[in-house]
Each structure stands twice: as structure tokens, then as C-alpha cells.
Amino acid sequence: MKIEHIGIAVKDLGLSEALFTKLMGTGSYKRERVDSEKVITSFFSAGEGKIELVAAESEEAALAKAIEKRGEGIHHIAFLVDNLDAEIVRLKDEGFEFINDQPKLGADNKRIIFLHPRSTNGILVELCENYRV
């Protein structure tokens, strides 16, 4: 397991991309819509990991409600795993709770699932694996 990316919730993707471009000295390498979450993402390289800016596409998106409640900022930390299905079983056996019952397709060609923050000290944790067709 290694850190794949840190997700940052933002209200205005364009303004945040400009800010992170200045901060990191390089632009976003990819923008992507994730229909299952009703968000648009923008990725920046950060050494071996990535920064993912995440903006809600609509007020109905869970992310829009999270930003309204907690404001912009770090939204989640994502760990890359070799076998997502095996990690889900292992973590369920360890007593962790998941937000979803099954993994789904996420951004950047990944299968993803989120652990519930109430079982991870208040931190939203995403597990992801490279999607195999």
C-alpha cells in the first residue's frame, strides 16, 4: 500500500488549478469527469504521488454538501493497492466500515472504494487499484 494521491475539495476548479499551477510550478496534467460521484477532477504530479483537485458538478453531489459543511480543503487520502478486492475483505475482517458495498470506477483509470471516516479517525480514506480491462 502506498499513497496514490491526496484529494482536495474545491469550489472553483479553474481558480484552484491556477493557484496550484503557481504553487507547484507546473500545470495540471489531466482533467476528468467522474459521473458516479458527480465531480470533475484535476491532477497534478507531486513526486511519486499526485494532488487531485475535486469540484462538485452539481449541488446534489456529496462533495458539494461536504464543502458546504466543512469548507474547502483536504477531502481524502488515497492508497494504491495491488488487489482491491482482497484489501476490502481484509479491512472488513479488521472491523473497518465502507461507504459503498462494492468498488466503482473512479478517475485516473482506477477502481475505487471509500472507507467511512467514523472507522478511520475522521479521515476519508480511498483505496484504489489500477483498472484492468
Return the percentage of the chain with pLDDT > 90, whole number: 92
Cα separation values, 108 from 34, 51, 85, 90, Å: 9, 12, 19, 25
User: How much is the CA Rg of the chain, to the nearest whole Å?
Assistant: 15
**Is residue 19 predicted with pLDDT exceeding 70?**
yes
* β partners of residue 46: 49
> Could you give the residue ranges of the DSSP H alpha helices within the chain?
13-24, 62-70, 84-93
Grid coordinates 488549478 are at which residue? 17
16 and 75 Cβ atoms separated by less than 8 Å: no
Sorted by where each starts, the structural domains of the chain and their CATH numbers stand as 2-130 (3.10.180.10)
> What pTM was computed for the model?
0.90
H/E element holding 30? Answer: strand 30-34
Distance CA 110, CA 123 (A): 20
**Per residue in 59-83, pLDDT tens?**
999 999 999 999 999 999 999 999 9
